[in-house]
Chain A
Amino acid sequence: MLAFIVTTIVCFIIYLLLTIGSATGASDFFNLGLWSNEEILFGVILSVIVGAIGRKIFVKKDFRMLNPVRWFTFLFYLFIPFFWGMAKANFDVAYRVITGKINPGIVKISPGLKTDLGITMLANSITLTPGTLSVDIDEDKNDLYIHWINVKKEALKKKPIDYKYVCGSFPKWVRRIAE
């Protein structure tokens, strides 16, 4: 039941965001100048339908993501370490596009994350940050196979490779957000 309520509320918030500016005038029930009655009514109906259909997909076992501390940590992570890594990645790719120097390879790392959401977030972060692209995943142990555009010699000495060479402190952040 709680899963249904959470899914419905999230859908309704997204619907409200997309229909801002549909106000017709003083006849609105919520007279904020943002939404008309029809949009709110239809939004409620649609979100209840979507919540009934998608509650098992949207919410897995527990409700740990309802904690606001995790949201603010996520926003902080998105705007400061992640965006900085992404900017570095793009100048790195720009350098390699212009000079054509590459030294690629596929390496395996084990970040030690357990949840699906955490491993998804880490894989997407890795794809968007310096010189790395997640290729495949071992679903039993949650190991990631990563295509690395510039393999460092000192990283290859130890097997399996320390994830600090590939993705820096991202697993630490992701563990704080999603686990």
Chain B
Amino acid sequence: MMFSIIDIIVYIFLGVGVFFNLLAGVGLLRFPDVYTRLHAGTKCTTFGSIFLSGSVILLGLRMWWFGNTDGSILAIHTGVALVAILVTNPTGAHAIARAAHRSGVKPVKAVVDDLEGGTTKKKSIGKKTATVKKKEEEEG
């Protein structure tokens, strides 16, 4: 009885995960500019990945309960993969957003833009590379 409940939970997790992953695809097609597409592409895929990995972890734990050691390997490795996704996905989105803003993509229909015009680039690094370039030009 208890294990059929776990089966039902696994199916629910699979359904929720697939729904959010499909939503990420639809959001990528429907939204108007880079930043809103990042909203869809990051949040929805991360949330969907949590649920799909969660279903795999539950399945592995159930296998382990029945005495199959492969189940514990499945659960632990999926957990590590999930942690990797959770750490890397928002950081990558942040990198893309910053690159998009610095390369001059403006948010569509923006009400307010505090970052416009102002730049947070470290001035010292830019100057250093510029002077190095000048030196190289003079030498060459």
Name the B residues within 8 Å of A106 (CB-CB). Answer: 101, 107, 110, 112-116
Which residues of the partner chain A approach B80 to less than 8 Å between Cβ atoms?
14, 17-18
Interface segment among A44-52, A65-73, A92-100, A171-179: the answer is: A92-100
Collect the chain A residues with CB atoms within 8 Å of residue B90's CB.
Answer: 123-124, 127-128
Q: Would you call B35 and A20 a contact (CB within 8 A)?
A: no
Cross-chain contact A103 with B111 (CB below 8 angstroms): yes
Q: Which residues of B contact A145 (CB under 8 A)?
A: 114-115, 120
- A21 partner residues in chain B, CB cutoff 8 A: 69-70, 72-73
Closest Cβ of chain A to B96, distance in Å, is: 10
Supposing A127-B94, A137-B120 touch, asked if A108 and B114 sit within 8 A by C-beta, the answer is: yes
Number of residue pairs spanning A and B whose beta carbons lie under 8 angstroms apart: 126
Q: Is the interface of A mostly helix, strand, loop or mixed?
A: mixed
A118-147 CB mask vs B (1 if < 8 Å, else 0) is 000001100110010111111100000101
Expressed in whole angstroms, the Cα–Cα distance for A84 and B27 within the complex equals 22
A–B Cβ pairs within 8 angstroms, 21 of them: A17-B76, A20-B72, A20-B76, A21-B70, A90-B20, A90-B43, A102-B109, A104-B107, A104-B108, A105-B107, A106-B107, A107-B112, A107-B114, A123-B90, A127-B93, A128-B43, A133-B94, A135-B35, A137-B120, A147-B38, A147-B97
* Interface positions of A (Cβ within 8 A of B): 14, 17-18, 20-21, 33, 86-87, 89-90, 93-94, 96-97, 100, 102-108, 123-124, 127-128, 131, 133-139, 145, 147, 149, 151, 156
